Structure 1
Amino acid sequence: MNILSIQSHVAYGHVGNASAVFPMQRLGCDVWPIHTVQFSNHTGYGHWTGRVFDGPMIEEIVDGIAQRGVLGSCDGVLSGYMGSADIGHAILSAVARVRQANPQATYCCDPVIGDVGRGVFVRPGIPEFMREQAVPAADVITPNQFELELLAERRCGTLAEAKAALEAAHRLGPKVVLVTSLLSEETPGDAIDLLASDAEGTHRVRTPRLGVSVNGAGDAIAALFYVHWLKSRSAAHALGEAAASVYGLLKRTEEAGSREILTVAAQDEFVSPTHRFPVERV
């Protein structure tokens, strides 16, 4: 299986492609990464070096891949943090080219916009671009609770409200929606919920709530969910596998007291999770 992954990248640590590529490779995928930025480390440290790339550079890289005659063997495109609408347009152009070469190819968009407690942290115009162009073009989206509420234009304070938000997100275009973190009135204080919705219905996995807070976990779960969905075409199955792997990854990271997720040290969690949780229809 071949996946084109267009995301940010850091030399030190694990966010963007540095968080998503290796788990997909560990699951047996051949990943073609294109970086939207190349930074020394993630911006949460307060200081970093490196450069932000532009749309034409991304299109140039896709041109080079196309010249190899391999776009028809690409099974899917995964995108994360876009940085600018210019980059977003280049990503959608890449998706269109892959789909033209392989009509069976799919697109998974992680609509990175913001988070609970932080609000919107992307540049002006990106939330609108996500809602009006990127999300409608996607087969699969993987928002967090804040992003789902923004895209669906409704809150998710209860499970019923979250399900209504999922329906609203589906109406934008995607066939599959994964909510990577949900804290509703029904969620116990020591737990966190993940929801996945497709034509088969809505399913939930509830995992213990860990105290660790690290960058890159959302990038990892989007990649894991997408790969498992590509293989099974079942959102419920992909939800169970991705939730188990990310919980194990974060638990190992918490136990080590690390500021960076242990993508390499805990790599066995991607193929043989040490903790599994029930997948229930809701």
Structure 2
Amino acid sequence: MSVLSLQSHVCAGHVGNAAAVPALQALGRPVWPVHTVLFSNHPGHGRFTGHAVEPAWVADCVAGLADLPVAWEERAAVLSGYLGVPGTAAVVAWAVDRARAGRPDLPYLCDPVIGDALPGRYVDAAIPPLMRDHLVPRATIVTPNLFELRALTGMPCHDLATALAAARWLLGRGPRAVVVTSVDVPDGPEPGAARCLVTDGAGAWVVASPRLAFPRSPHGAGDLLSALYLHAWLDDPRPQVALSQAVSALFAVLEETWRRGAPELALLAARDRLARPPRLWPAIRL
């Protein structure tokens, strides 16, 4: 069963679809990548070439898939990430609705790519409200980092309690689970670790893994985590189980990247560890 993945694509490195596609394929899950931008590399390297894909072209690709019954019947979920231009938000919303025709419970994971603590917001200012008002309400799962959680909710998120309150506010918009992919706050369990938080309203859990001393953090970890979480959740929809599996697989990739001193995620070198990470980091119930 295939995942429809609407995200950015880069020629070099592993971000957006260039992270999700090889990871999902290594896990044995077919994926249909539809690119929202075509860049030579991640803009965080300081220079890049390429351009956003016209929203109409993104829609054409989805429509072509939907008109191919032998493939379309195999759809299992929708995944979205970096949009590129504001007009793509409406296309993603339409794609989710089209994928749910006849399958109203088909899962949709929205990775609301907006920015990060540094360098701040790096998308068009019109995109965050479009995500909040049109994509989040359609989502089964939303995976913001802490900066994006603040941008979507307008809440401060300065400690674990306020971050959890903001995640629960997002749940009130429609999703079944919210995963906060970076919980860099001073309190809570394992405060010195790299932590992720998940809540489904009935419970909340933190998964903590060691913080690796990268001279410069590789791009794409959040994109990879979202794809890994969706895959794990499709196998077992208990949010704490899916997050433990996803964080553990991501850590295996990050550890290999750190060991090699690589400037990009060592995704291919660690692909055999995605399904069976060497160590499973447990979910801690709050």
Return the TM-score normalized by structure 2.
Answer: 0.95
Q: Which amino acid aligns with 1:192?
A: A
Q: 1:266 aligns with which of 258, 270, 278?
A: 270
On the 8 A contact 2:171/2:177 being kept in 1, the answer is: yes
Write the mapping of 1:224-239 to structure 2, written as runs, cut at 5 A. 224-239=228-243
Once the two structures are TM-superposed, the CA of residue 244 in structure 1 deviates from its matched residue by: 0.4
Measured after TM superposition, the shift of residue 195 of structure 1 is 0.6
Q: Distance in 1 between matches of 2:76 and 2:202?
A: 22
After TM superposition, the runs of 4+ consecutive aligned structure 1 residues lying more than 4 A away are: none
Instruction: Please give the per-residue CA displacement for 1:205-242, whole angstroms capped at 9, x wherever unaligned.
Output: 11111122011111000000011111211111111001
Residues 169-180 of structure 1 mapped to structure 2, 5 A cutoff: 169-180=170-181
Question: Does the 8 Å contact 1:72/1:102 carry over to 2?
Answer: no
Shift of 1:84: 1.4
Q: Which amino acid aligns with 1:232?
A: D
**Match in the other structure for 1:277:** 281
Q: 2:249 aligns with which of 231, 245, 252?
A: 245
* 5+ residue gaps, structure 2: none
Residues 89, 135 of structure 2: 8 Å contact kept = yes
Is the CA contact 2:40–2:48 (under 8 Å) kept in the aligned structure 1? yes
| The one of 199, 206, 211 aligned to 2:213 | 211
Which of these residues, 219, 225, 235, is aligned with residue 221 of structure 1? 225
Other-structure match for 2:198 = 196
CA contact (8 A) 1:149 1:155 kept: yes
Give the equivalent residue in structure 2 for 1:13: 13
2:23 corresponding residue in structure 1: 23
Deviates more, 1:43-52 or 1:55-64: 43-52
Aligned residue for 2:100, secondary structure, equals helix
**Paired residue total:** 282
**2: CA distance, partners of 1:104 / 1:172:** 16
Q: Secondary structure, in 3 states, of the residue corresponding to 1:172?
A: coil
Contact 1:84 1:123 in 2 (8 A): yes
Asked whether the equivalents of residues 75 and 102 of structure 1 are also in contact (C-alpha less than 8 Å), the reply is no
1:61-110 CA-to-partner distances (Å, cap 9, x unmatched) read 11211121133431110000001121111111111100014223111100
Contact in 1 for aligned 2:53/2:84 (Cα 8 Å):
no
Q: Counterpart of 1:108 in structure 2: which amino acid?
A: L
- Output aligned runs, 1:66-215, within 5 Å: 66-69=66-69, 70-186=71-187, 190-212=192-214, 213-215=217-219
**For 2:20 and 2:250, how far apart are their aligned partners in 1?**
12
* Aligned partner letter, 2:256: R
Q: CA deviation at 1:189?
A: 5.8
Give the Cα–Cα distance (whole angstroms) in 1 for the partners of residues 49 and 62 of structure 2: 25
SS in 1 for 2:181: strand
Instruction: State the match for 2:39 in structure 1.
Output: 39
CA distance in 2, matches of 1:105, 1:36: 22
SS of aligned partner of 1:243: helix
The letter of the residue matching 2:195 is D
**Aligned with 1:75: secondary structure?**
strand
The alignment's TM-score, normalised by the length of structure 1, stands at 0.96
With 180-189 and 223-232 compared, the bigger mean Cα shift is at 180-189
Specify the code of the residue in structure 1 equivalent to 2:49.
T
Task: List gaps (5 residues or longer) in structure 1.
Answer: none
Describe the SS at the equivalent of 1:195: strand
SS at match of 1:95: helix
The 1-side partners of 2:227 and 2:253 are apart by 14
